[in-house]
C-alpha cells in the first residue's frame, strides 16, 4: 500500500503530457501522437531513417527504441551511443559536441531526429538537435522538468512531461516511444 502514491503520481504525469507544434501551439496528446506516426511513416516510407539521441537514462531509451523501431517496426533507426564514438568525440571536440558531430556526418535531409532529454537543457542534445535541423531533419523532442525548457521550443513536434522527477519523465518518454512504434506496427497488421 505504501508504494501506491508513486504510481498515482506517475499516472498524473501520464495524464499531463502535452504535445505542441513547432510554433508552440498546443495539440491534444492523441493528435501529437498521430502527427508523430504520420511523420515517421512518411519519412521511413520514403527511405529515410530515424535517429535517436539522449544522455544517461535517455540514452538507454534512445538505444532501446532504435532497436525496436528497426527490429520490430522494420524502419531504419540508429542511436549514437557507441562507447568509442562517445569517448572519441568527447575527447576530440568536447562533450557538448558528442551528438552534433555524428548528426552532421550521418543525418540526411528528410530523416527524423528524436531528441530525448529529461531537463530539455542538455547542451549536447540542443546542439545535436540544431545540427539535425540544419541537415533538414524533422525534429521530434521529448522533454520534462520546466515547461519553458529550450529543447521544447525547437522541435517540429514536441512532447513534454510535466514533472521534475527523472524516473517519471523517463518512463513517460519510453511509453510515448513505444506507443508510436506499436501503433505503426499495429496499422500494418
Position 18 in a domain: no
pLDDT the model gives residue 51: 98
- The total domain count for the chain is 1
CATH of the domain at 104: 3.40.50.10490
Position 164 in a domain: yes
pLDDT single digits (tens) 11-64? 999 999 999 999 999 999 999 999 999 999 999 999 999 999 999 999 999 999
In the chain, the DSSP E strands lie at 18-21, 26-27, 50-54, 77-79, 112-117, 138-143, 157-160
Position 7 in a domain: no
By residue range, what is the domain housing residue 78?
A: 34-188
Position 4 in a domain: no
Q: pTM for this one? A: 0.96
In 109-183, the DSSP E strands lie at 112-117, 138-143, 157-160
Amino acid at each position: 500500500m505504501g508504494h501506491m502514491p508513486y504510481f498515482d503520481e506517475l499516472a498524473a504525469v501520464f495524464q499531463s503530457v502535452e504535445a505542441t507544434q513547432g510554433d508552440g501551439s498546443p495539440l491534444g496528446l492523441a493528435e501529437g501522437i498521430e502527427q508523430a506516426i504520420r511523420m515517421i511513416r512518411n519519412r521511413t516510407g520514403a527511405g529515410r531513417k530515424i535517429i535517436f539521441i539522449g544522455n544517461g537514462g535517455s540514452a538507454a531509451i534512445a538505444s532501446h527504441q532504435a532497436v525496436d523501431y528497426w527490429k520490430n517496426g522494420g524502419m531504419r533507426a540508429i542511436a549514437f551511443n557507441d562507447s568509442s564514438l562517445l569517448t572519441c568525440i568527447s575527447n576530440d571536440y568536447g562533450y557538448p559536441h558528442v551528438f552534433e558531430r555524428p548528426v552532421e556526418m550521418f543525418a540526411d535531409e528528410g530523416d527524423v531526429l528524436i531528441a530525448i532529454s529529461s531537463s530539455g537543457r542538455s547542451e549536447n542534445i540542443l546542439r545535436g538537435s540544431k545540427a539535425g535541423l540544419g541537415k533538414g531533419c524533422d525534429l521530434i523532442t521529448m522533454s520534462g522538468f520546466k515547461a519553458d525548457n529550450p529543447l521544447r521550443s525547437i522541435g517540429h513536434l514536441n512532447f513534454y512531461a510535466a514533472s521534475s522527477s527523472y524516473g517519471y519523465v523517463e518512463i513517460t518518454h519510453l511509453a510515448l516511444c513505444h506507443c508510436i512504434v506499436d501503433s505503426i506496427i499495429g496499422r500494418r497488421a
